[in-house]
Amino acid sequence: MNVIMPIFSARLKELRKEKKRTQKDMAELLNCTDRHYQRIEYGQINVPSLDLVTLADYFDVSADYLLGLDDHRKRR
């Protein structure tokens, strides 16, 4: 069962744009196809935990922030 996570999708897109990265750049970071990354950003694919950690590290935010469980970007 896939759960659509609109907060995750919105935050991921916002962080990507703040860093001036393309979806292709992000696909390379996660070692996936451009289309697969687009589907992640659109909330059509749930992200594996290792990818979540990679994204949180890359953007220097907490996984909880990405998931919408916390509104504080920085890790505590």
For residue range 12-28, what is the model confidence (pLDDT) as tens digits? Answer: 999 999 999 999 999 99
Q: What pTM was estimated for this model as a whole?
A: 0.89
Q: Which fold has domain 6-67?
A: 434 Repressor (Amino-terminal Domain) (1.10.260)
For residue range 2-14, what is the model confidence (pLDDT) as tens digits? Answer: 555 789 999 999 9
Contact between 61 and 73 under an 8 Å Cβ cutoff? The reply is yes
For the chain, domain boundaries = 6-67
Per-residue burial over 63-72, b = 16 or more CB atoms within 10 Å of its CB, e = otherwise = bebbeeeeee
